[in-house]
Structures are given as C-alpha cells and as structure tokens.
Amino acid sequence: MSGVPDSIQAGTIHGVGLGPGAPDLLSVRADRLVRGARHVAYFRKAGRPGQARRIAEGMLRADVLEIPMEYPVTTEIPVSDPRYNARLSAFYAECTERLVVLARAGEDVVVLCEGDPFFYGSFMHLHGRLAGMVPVQVVPGITGMAGAWNATGIPITWGDDVLTIAMATLPEEELTRRIRDTDALVVMKIGRNLPKLRRAVTAAGREDAAWLVEHAAMPGQRVTRLIEAESVTPYFSILLIHGQGRRP
C-alpha cells in the first residue's frame, strides 16, 4: 500500500450499523452518514445484491461510488476445512487494501453493516486489519435479534434471567446443553442447520417454548411457534425462547 503526501489528511472508514432490516430503524447518525457518503462499501454473495445494500436502497446519493465486496466462499467449503479460513483471510486482506487506498487519498468510506458492526458481522474482520492504519469509526446498530424478539411482542428476559446467544452451527450435543441450561435463548445462523436445531430443542425439552421469527423487521416478517412451523426460510430466521424470570 503506497503512502500519500503529508498534506492530504486521511479519510475515515465508517462501519455503519443499519439495524435489523427496516430503513427507518437506522440511527440518526447512521442515516446521515449513509445518505452523505460518496464511497459506500458492502459485503454480498456473488450474484446477489446483498442484504445491507437492500436496506440502503433509495438512500444513496446520485453520484455514489459503490464498492461491492463479494465473498469468495459461503457454503462451498466446510468451515472446518483449512482452505475456508485461508480463502476468507485473503479476501478480507484484499478488501482492507481497497479501503485503505481510498482513505489514504483523503476519501471517507461508509461500510454498510447489517445489524450491529460488532455483533457477528463481517466488518469485524476489516476493523482488526484497519486499526492503526487509517481512522476507523463504528456506528452501533439495532441487532437482528432485537428485531426478532420485538416481533413476537413478548419480552425476551425478565428479572434475573440469563440470556444465551448461540449459533446453530454448534455441534448438536453442545446446542442441546446450552438450550437446556439457559433461561432465555437466541439462536442465529440457522440456515441448513434447522433440522439439527429442531432436534436439539426437542432433546432439551423446550420445543413448546420455542419461536421462529423469519425476516424480522423486513418485508415478509413471520412469527411462528417452532412446533407449528412447517415451511420456513431458515437463512433469515432466528429462534427464540423467552425467559420467564422474576417480575413484580
């Protein structure tokens, strides 16, 4: 990465949380940055517009320069395969270099992030590489899980309830243990793991208390009891079990 003359002040890379899906759930700061940005970057699968870009549809200025960052792999290689990390590491390094070149030329860049940038998001992998190279700022966002539990109309925790957040990618036995041992539960990254997750919830004896929320805070939002759910869209689904703790 080449340097620039000292007279040019480096731009800032902004990781901007867009919230769970509805454009009117952005913070005032996020809205201002997204609408004012000339350089806007976002992650997406190849051939797809990307969920973050979809949320920002209609908000970007007319002369915006978009920087789509397309994942080299998603599910083609198992996460346990060393090639998976190697491919993604090289990808994030390349994305970092593209953004640093712009920032060192004095340009600000907004990176669109679903939910909150520091909550299981891809921006975290850029942030760790960008730190110390150019200015970086993070704008928090409402998480997808908050959108999901609000969609149920039921508080997720009461009193002293312990909330566990788990990934459906965990081994089935580990999922079962964590579902059994917590008061309130959020399970994310369901995808093709839905059958395994159903078995784990049943084994933990909590099937009657589990809910599936699809497309929370997006068009097509659907809230269903797990025992009643037949056909679901697992990629944009979050499983919830509400706490039943102390209350006045």
Domain residue ranges in the chain: 13-142, 145-241
Give me the pLDDT at residue 147, please.
Answer: 96
Fold observed for domain 13-142: Cobalt-precorrin-4 Transmethylase; domain 1 (3.40.1010)
Task: Report the CATH superfamily, name and number, of domain 145-241.
Answer: Tetrapyrrole methylase, C-terminal domain (3.30.950.10)
Q: How far is CA 71 from CA 60, 90, 165, 215, in A?
A: 23, 11, 25, 22
Give me the pLDDT at residue 74, please.
Answer: 65
Pair 224, 136: CB distance under 8 Å? no
Give me the pLDDT at residue 5, please.
Answer: 52
Give me the pLDDT at residue 76, please.
Answer: 60
What pTM does this model have?
0.90
Residues in the chain with pLDDT values less than 50 = 1-4
Same fold, 13-142 and 145-241: no
Which residues, in sequence order, are CB contacts of 36 under 8 Å at separation 6+?
Answer: 61
Give the largest CA-CA distance in the chain: 65
- Euclidean distance between CA atoms 116 and 119, whole angstroms: 5
- Three-class SS of residue 169? coil
